[in-house]
Amino acid sequence: MTIGAWLWSGRRALVTGRAASALYGARWVGEHAPVELLWRNNHCPPGIIVRSERFQADEVASIAGISVATPARVAYDLARHLPRTEAVAHLDALAGATGLTAREAMHLIDRYPGARGNKRARQVLDLMDAGAESPRESWLRLVVVDAGLPRPVTQIRVTDGQLVAYLDMGWRDKLVALEYDGDQHRTDRRQYVKDIRRAEMFERLGWHVIKVIKEDRPRDVVARVSRALGLVGDAAVPPYRSQGRDAA
pLDDT in tens, 165-204: 999 999 999 999 999 997 665 667 788 888 899 999 999 9
CATH topology of domain 135-247: Endonuclease; Chain A (3.40.960)
Cα separation, 126 vs 186, in Å, equals: 33
Domain boundaries, the chain: 2-126, 135-247
152's CB contacts (< 8 A; 6+ apart) are 141, 144, 169, 170, 171, 178
Cα separation, 50 vs 26, in Å, equals: 21
For residue 185, what pLDDT is reported? 54
In this model, does residue 136 exceed pLDDT 90? yes
Cα separation, 41 vs 10, in Å, equals: 11
pLDDT in tens, 20-65: 999 999 999 999 999 999 999 989 999 999 999 999 999 999 999 9
- Cβ 117 vs Cβ 81: under 8 Å: yes
pLDDT in tens, 237-248: 555 666 654 543
Residue 167: count of CB within 10 angstroms of its CB: 21
pLDDT in tens, 20-29: 999 999 999 9
Cα separation, 132 vs 142, in Å, equals: 11
Whole-model pTM? Answer: 0.90
pLDDT in tens, 93-131: 999 999 999 999 999 999 999 999 999 999 999 999 999
pLDDT in tens, 75-88: 999 999 999 999 99
